[in-house]
Chains A and B, each alone.
Chain A
Amino acid sequence: KAGVTQTPRYLIKTRGQQVTLSCSPISGHRSVSWYQQTPGQGLQFLFEYFSETQRNKGNFPGRFSGRQFSNSRSEMNVSTLELGDSALYLCASRLGDRDGYTFGSGTRLTVV
Chain B
Amino acid sequence: GQQLNQSPQSMFIQEGEDVSMNCTSSSIFNTWLWYKQDPGEGPVLLIALYKAGELTSNGRLTAQFGITRKDSFLNISASIPSDVGIYFCAGRTQGAQKLVFGQGTRLTINP
CB B105 to nearest CB in A, in angstroms, measures: 12
User: Secondary structure at chain A's binding surface: helix, strand, loop or mixed?
Assistant: strand
* B contact residues, total (Cβ < 8 Å): 24
A33 and B97 contacting across the interface, CB-CB below 8 Å = yes
B98 A48 Cβ-Cβ under 8 A: yes
B22-41 at interface with A (beta carbon < 8 Å): 31, 33, 35, 40-41
Interface residues of B in 88-104 (CB under 8 A from A): 88, 90, 96-104
Interface residue? A25 (CB, 8 A): no
The answer for the CA separation of A101 and B91 in the assembled complex, in Å, is 11
Residue B8 interfacial (CB < 8 Å) = no
List A contacts of B41 (CB < 8 A).
105-106
Contact of A58 with B1 in the complex, beta carbons under 8 Å = yes
B3 at the interface (CB under 8 A from A): yes
B interface residue numbers (CB < 8 A to A): 1, 3, 31, 33, 35, 40-45, 48, 50, 88, 90, 96-104
Sorted from nearest, which 8 A-B pairs have the closest CB atoms? A103-B42, A43-B101, A45-B98, A100-B48, A56-B97, A48-B97, A100-B45, A55-B97
- Listed in ascending order, the chain A residues whose CB lies under 8 Å from chain B are 4, 6, 31, 33, 35, 41-45, 48, 50, 55-56, 58-59, 90, 92, 97-106, 108
